[in-house]
Amino acid sequence: MSVLEMLVRRRMQEEYAKGTSPERITRLLQEFFNGTEASQTEAVPNRASETR
């Protein structure tokens, strides 16, 4: 199991233990992954500017 999978599972378990609804847990995870994608996009250098 990857580190990411372990973190996601732990977060889900913590939220479930707090009584968070499954719908809210789903939204939290979607927000997390959307934030992760955005940060990875920002970290990737723009190849078009390198070829000039």
CA 48 – CA 52 distance, rounded (Å): 7
Task: Kindly report the pTM of this predicted structure.
Answer: 0.56
Residue extents of the structural domains in the chain: 3-43
Start-to-end CA distance of the chain, whole Å, equals 42
Any idea which residue has 């990411």 for tokens?
A: 4
User: Could you list the pLDDT tens digit for every one of the 52 residues in the chain?
Assistant: 789 899 889 989 999 999 999 999 999 889 888 886 666 555 555 555 555 4
